[in-house]
Structure 1
Amino acid sequence: MANEEHSETEPETKTGTKTKPAEPVDDLVATRHAVTVDGQELRYTATTGRIVLREEVLTDGTFDGLKPKAEVFLTAYTLDDADAGSRPVTFAFNGGPGSSSIWLHLGLLGPRRVVSGDAGELAPPPYSIVDNAETLLKYSDVVFVDPVSTGFSRAAEGEKPGDYHGFTRDLESVGEVIRLWTSRNGRWMSPKFLAGESYGTTRAAGLAAHLQQRYGMYLNGVMLISAVLEFGTLDFSPGNDLPYTLFLPSYAAIAHYHGLVPDRSLEEVLADAERFAAGRYPNALAQGNRIPADYRAEVVSRLAALTGLSEDYIDRVNLRIEHMRFFGELLRSRRQTVGRLDGRFTGWGADYGSETPDRDPSMNAITGPYAAALNHYVRVELGYENDLPYEVLHWDAASNWSFKEFEGKQIMVADKLAEAMRVNPHLKVHVASGYYDGATPYFATEHTLARLQIPAELATNIETKYYPAGHMMYVHEQSRIQQAADLGSFITNSANR
Structure 2
Amino acid sequence: MRLKAGTLCAALTLTTMLAGTPVQAQKPAEAPAAEAVTGRATAEEKAVVTSHRTELNGKTINYKATAGTLTILSHEGDPKGSMFYVAYTVDQPKGAPPRPVTFLFNGGPGSASHWLNIGGVGPVQAVTRAPEATGPAPYVMRNSPGSILDKSDLVFIDAVGTGYSRPIGDTPGTYFWGTEQDMDSFARFITRYVTVNERWGSPKYLFGESYGTTRAAGLVYRLQNQGMQFNGIILLSLVVNGDGGEDNDFAVLVPTYAATAWYHNRLQNRPASLEAFMKEVREFARGPYTMALGRGHGIDPAEKQAVAEQLSKYIGLPVDYLLSRNLRVELESYRRELLRDDAKITGRFDSRFTAPHAYGAMSGTFDPATDDPATAGVSSAYLSTYRDYLSRDLGYKSPMHFRSLNNMEISGAWDYKHRAPGNRVRTSPNVALDLAAAMRSNPQLKILAMSGYYDMSTPFFSGEYGLDHMLLEPQLIPNVSYKLYESGHMAFNDQRVLLKMKGDLDAFYDHTLSQRP
TM-score, length-scaled by structure 1: 0.90
Using the TM superposition, name which of 141-150 and 342-351 deviates more.
342-351
Partner of 1:402: 415
1:356–1:412 Cα change, 3 Å: farther
- Distance, in Å, in 2 between the alignment partners of 1:350 and 1:226 is 28
Distance 1:105 1:354 in 2: 31
Q: Confirm or deny that 1:50 pairs with 2:69.
A: yes
The answer as to 2:468 corresponding to 1:460 is: no
Distance 1:382 1:255, change over 3 A: same
1:145 and 1:302, CA in 2 relative to 1: closer, same or farther beyond 3 A? same
Report SS of the residue matched to 2:476: helix
Once the two structures are TM-superposed, the CA of residue 121 in structure 1 deviates from its matched residue by 5.6
SS of the equivalent of 2:80 reads strand
Q: 1:355 to 1:271 in 2, by over 3 A?
A: farther
Aligned to 1:476: 494
Shift of 1:465: 0.7
Query: Structure 1 residues 399 and 357, CA, compared in 2 at 3 Å: closer, same or farther?
Result: closer
CA–CA separation in structure 1 for the residues paired with 2:57 and 2:361: 52
Q: Which residue is 1:158 aligned to? A: 170
Distance 1:471 1:224 in 2: 12
By how many angstroms is 1:291 displaced? Answer: 1.9
Q: Alignment partner for residue 302 of structure 1, among 306, 310, 316?
A: 310
Determine whether 1:78 maps to 2:85: no
Superposed counterparts of 1:198-217, under 5 Å: 198-213=210-225, 215-217=226-228
Answering whether residue 193 of structure 2 is matched by residue 181 of structure 1, we say yes
2:456 — aligned with what?
438
User: Residue 250 of structure 2 is aligned with which of 238, 244, 249?
Assistant: 244
Amino acid at match of 2:410: A
SS in 2 for 1:122: coil
Report if the CA contact (8 A) 1:85-1:187 is conserved: no
- Equivalent in 100, 104, 125 of residue 88 of structure 1: 100
One-letter amino acid of the counterpart of residue 342, structure 2: R
Q: Is the 8 A contact 1:258 1:344 kept in 2?
A: yes
C-alpha change, 1:399 and 1:84, in structure 2 (3 Å) is farther
Q: Which residue of 2 aligns with 1:17?
A: none
CA distance in 2, matches of 1:384, 1:158: 25
After superposition, residues 235-384 of structure 1 pair within 5 angstroms as: 240-261=246-267, 262-265=269-272, 266-350=274-358, 358=366, 359-384=371-396
User: Which residue identity lines up with residue 336 of structure 2 in the other structure?
Assistant: G
Structure 1 residue 341 displacement after superposition:
0.8
CA distance in structure 1 between the partners assigned to 2:365 and 2:309 by the alignment: 25
Distance 1:32 1:401 in 2: 38
Find the residue that maps to 2:237 and give its secondary structure.
strand
Q: Which runs of 5+ in 2 are unaligned?
A: 1-31, 420-424
Shift of residue 84 of structure 1?
Answer: 7.2
The residue that corresponds to 1:104 in the other structure is 116
The amino acid of 1:473's aligned partner reads A
Q: CA 1:5/1:303 → structure 2, altered by over 3 Å: closer, same or farther? A: farther
> Aligned match of 1:390 in 388, 402, 405?
402
Give yes or no for contact 1:3–1:387 (8 Å, CA) kept in 2: no
d(CA) in 1 for partners of 2:427, 2:80 = 30
TM-superposed CA distance for 1:339, in Å, is 1.0
Q: Which amino acid aligns with 2:315?
A: T
* 2:6 paired residue number: none
- Which of these residues, 48, 56, 64, is aligned with residue 37 of structure 1? 56
Give yes or no for contact 1:84–1:187 (8 Å, CA) kept in 2. no
SS class of match (2:92)? coil
TM-score, normalization: structure 2?
Answer: 0.87
Letter in 2 for 1:258: H
The Cα of 1:272 is off from its aligned counterpart by 2.4
Map Cα deviations across residues 448-476 of structure 1 (whole Å, 9 max, x no partner): 21121221001111111110111111111
* Corresponding residue for residue 228 of structure 1: 239
Matched AA of 1:275: E
Q: Deviations over 1:265-317 (max 9, x none)?
A: 21342122112112111111122222222221111111111111112211111
Write the distance in 2 (CA, Å) between the matches of 1:338 and 1:41. Answer: 41
Aligned residues of 1:195 and 1:222 also touching (Cα < 8 A): yes
- 1:329/1:356 contact within 8 Å kept: no
Secondary structure of 1:489's aligned partner: helix
CA contact (8 A) 2:261 2:316 kept: yes
SS of the equivalent of 1:301 reads helix
In the alignment, the residues of structure 1 paired with residue 333 and residue 365 of structure 2 have an alpha-carbon distance, to the nearest angstrom, of 8
Number of corresponding residues: 471
Name the amino acid aligned to 1:217. M
Q: Does 1:491 align with 2:509?
A: yes
Could you say what secondary structure the match of 1:136 adopts? coil
Question: What is the CA distance between 1:56 and its match in structure 2?
Answer: 4.8
Amino acid at match of 2:483: K
Which residue of structure 2 aligns with residue 15 of structure 1? none
Q: Give distance in 2, aligned partners of 1:405 and 1:99.
A: 20
1:401-420 alignment runs, 5 A limit: 401-405=414-418, 410-420=428-438
SS of corresponding position for 1:195: strand
Name the SS of the counterpart of 1:337 in structure 2: strand
State the Cα deviation string for residues 245-281 of structure 1 (Å, max 9, x = none): 1110110000100000243121342122112112111
CA contact (8 A) 2:252 2:461 kept: yes
Residue type at the aligned position of 1:487: L
User: Which 5+ residue runs of structure 1 have no aligned equivalent?
Assistant: 10-21, 58-65
Quick check: 189-198 or 299-308, which moved more?
299-308
Q: What is the rounded CA distance, in whole Å, between the counterparts of 1:218 and 1:345 in structure 2?
A: 40
Match of 2:14 in 1: none
Indicate the larger mover: 201-210 or 30-39.
Answer: 30-39
SS at match of 1:53: strand
* 1:67 corresponds to 2:86: no
In 1: Cα distance, 2:435 partner to 2:349 partner: 24
Helix, strand or coil: the match of 1:208?
helix
